Amino acid sequence: MRIGMVCYASHGGSGIVATELGASLATRGHEVHFITNDVPVRLNRYRENLFFHRVEVDTYPVFPYTPYSLNLAAKLLEVIHTHGLDVLHAHYAVPHATSAYLAKEMHRPEEVRTVTTLHGTDITLVGVKPSFYEITKFSIERSDRVTAVSDWLREKTYESFGREKDIEVIPNFVDSEQFRPFPGTKERAPFAAEGEFVLMHASNFRPVKNVETVIRVFERLRARYPVKLLMVGDGPRLLPAEEMVRSAGLAESVHFLGAQEYLEDILPLADLFLLPSEHESFGLAALEAMSAGVGVVVTDVGGTREIVRHGENGFLHAPDDVDGMVETIAGLLEDSSRLARVEEAARRTAVEKYGLDEAVDRYLKVYEDALG
């Protein structure tokens, strides 16, 4: 099959899902063409059957804003013509599903199929805005197949956009060989002394990630225990977070590592992963942490409830429940055997329920169905 993958290239769950899926499809012998504004973050080595096409973004003095969706649609059409794509898979509805629809219509609609995967904020924060609502609804309804990464997101989409279109849930997945527990003692000398407990947060530092709560929880724990905090990622709330850390006098205990390409090398160093987002349609970073054998404390708003069973393979708290998070983590600090049981269960969940191969099989089935 010849598949065009349309995604965001920067750090963010939807681009990661697209890249891991595309790489696996290429390994299985499918021809996969990434069509984006830049090489996706995890597309970091040569693989047979994988191709990249850069969307050129043109500006012109009369344009108040750059019409990226049009440049993308034109590029998609060019790649369809040159490489005879069977399927365009748009990750993140806005504006990818719209550009894919346009490219298909400009070509011959019966010759190419479009699949849209809804990832979360494309529905919950962006798609529902009045300025995007109608075009998002239209583009979802005109996709040949639509998938969502959790039951929660499917319901949110139905609530906001109606039930015109069937949505299949294909949960996010993880390569549990790539994300695995650190063998032996965790080597984290540059960040933490022996015996210190390491808390980690990784995200794109958007407001929805609620990074201020990570710092508040850490500050309370720091007053009682020898703990360090590693903050991984970059985004709009990074500078305010650094400022918050400085003014709380925590600069020596908190390390900011910036955006990291090889999260699989960093996640296993943590004792606990904290993701108190305002909502998370799935929470891929938490799943990757679980696969790395790390316990997670995550928001209870969103698809995270479908993955984490409180007290068993991780912990769920409301995004503003600082007291609850502090008490959960303090309990684990004082009971390392409980933490070990949770870590084991977390790894087991990732391996047994969120495998890469099963997810790739399911996406392939969606493409095959769409092609009839």
55 contributes a contact to ligand GMT by CB under 6 A: no
Contacting ligand GMT (CB under 6 A), which of 4, 283, 295, 314?
283
Contacting ligand GMT (CB under 6 A), which of 19, 99, 139, 172?
172
Q: How many residues does the chain have?
A: 372
Kindly tell me which of 14 and 157 has the beta carbon lying closer to ligand GMT: 14
The answer to whether 30 and 115 have CB atoms below 8 angstroms apart is no
120 contributes a contact to ligand GMT by CB under 6 A: yes
Kindly tell me which of 17 and 217 has the beta carbon lying closer to ligand GMT: 17
- 3-state secondary structure at position 173: coil
Kindly tell me which of 121 and 253 has the beta carbon lying closer to ligand GMT: 121
277 contributes a contact to ligand GMT by CB under 6 A: yes
- 3-state secondary structure at position 57: coil
21 contributes a contact to ligand GMT by CB under 6 A: no
The answer to whether 115 and 366 have CB atoms below 8 angstroms apart is yes
Q: Which residues lie closer than 8 Å to 243 by C-beta, 6 or more apart?
A: none
Least distance from ligand GMT to the Cβ atom of residue 86, Å = 23
Exposed/middle/buried for residue 169 (C-beta within 10 Å: 0-12, 13-18, 19+): middle
Rounded to whole angstroms, how far apart are CA atoms 1 and 4? 10
Rounded to whole angstroms, how far apart are CA atoms 345 and 313? 5
The answer to whether 232 and 266 have CB atoms below 8 angstroms apart is yes
Least distance from ligand GMT to the Cβ atom of residue 108, Å = 31
Q: Which segment (22-30, 203-211, 264-272, 307-315) binds ligand GMT by CB under 6 A? A: 203-211
Contacting ligand GMT (CB under 6 A), which of 282, 315, 363, 367?
282
Kindly tell me which of 156 and 216 has the beta carbon lying closer to ligand GMT: 156
Instruction: Give how far Cα 289 sits from Cα of 3, 295, 307, Å.
Output: 29, 7, 12
Q: Quick one: which H or E segment has residue 51?
A: strand 50-54
Contacting ligand GMT (CB under 6 A), which of 19, 24, 114, 121?
121
13 contributes a contact to ligand GMT by CB under 6 A: yes
Contacting ligand GMT (CB under 6 A), which of 4, 12, 40, 319?
12
Least distance from ligand GMT to the Cβ atom of residue 289, Å = 12
Rounded to whole angstroms, how far apart are CA atoms 144 and 118? 13
Kindly tell me which of 103 and 307 has the beta carbon lying closer to ligand GMT: 307
Rounded to whole angstroms, how far apart are CA atoms 211 and 203? 9
Interactions with ligand GMT, residue window 291-320 (CB under 6 A): none
Structure token pair of residue 6: 């349309």
Query: What is the DSSP code string of 248-271?
Result: TT-TTTEEEEE--S-HHHHGGG-S
Kindly tell me which of 280 and 343 has the beta carbon lying closer to ligand GMT: 280
Structure token pair of residue 286: 């938490």
The answer to whether 288 and 263 have CB atoms below 8 angstroms apart is yes
276 contributes a contact to ligand GMT by CB under 6 A: no
Query: If you compute the radius of gyration of the chain from its CA atoms, what whole number of angstroms results?
Result: 21
Q: Ramachandran region of residue 144, left (φ > 0), alpha (ψ -120 to 50) or beta? A: alpha
How many residues bind ligand GMT, per CB under 6 A?
Answer: 20
Q: Fill in the per-residue mask, 71 to 100: x = in contact with ligand GMT (CB under 6 A), - = not in contact.
A: ---------------------x--------
204 contributes a contact to ligand GMT by CB under 6 A: yes
Kindly tell me which of 253 and 277 has the beta carbon lying closer to ligand GMT: 277
14 contributes a contact to ligand GMT by CB under 6 A: yes
Least distance from ligand GMT to the Cβ atom of residue 290, Å = 13
228 contributes a contact to ligand GMT by CB under 6 A: no
Q: Which has the closest alpha carbon to 167: 115, 124, 121, 126?
A: 115
Q: Which segment (25-33, 187-195, 277-285, 363-371) binds ligand GMT by CB under 6 A? A: 277-285
Residues that bind ligand GMT (CB under 6 A): 12-15, 17, 92, 119-121, 149, 172, 204, 206, 208, 277, 280-284
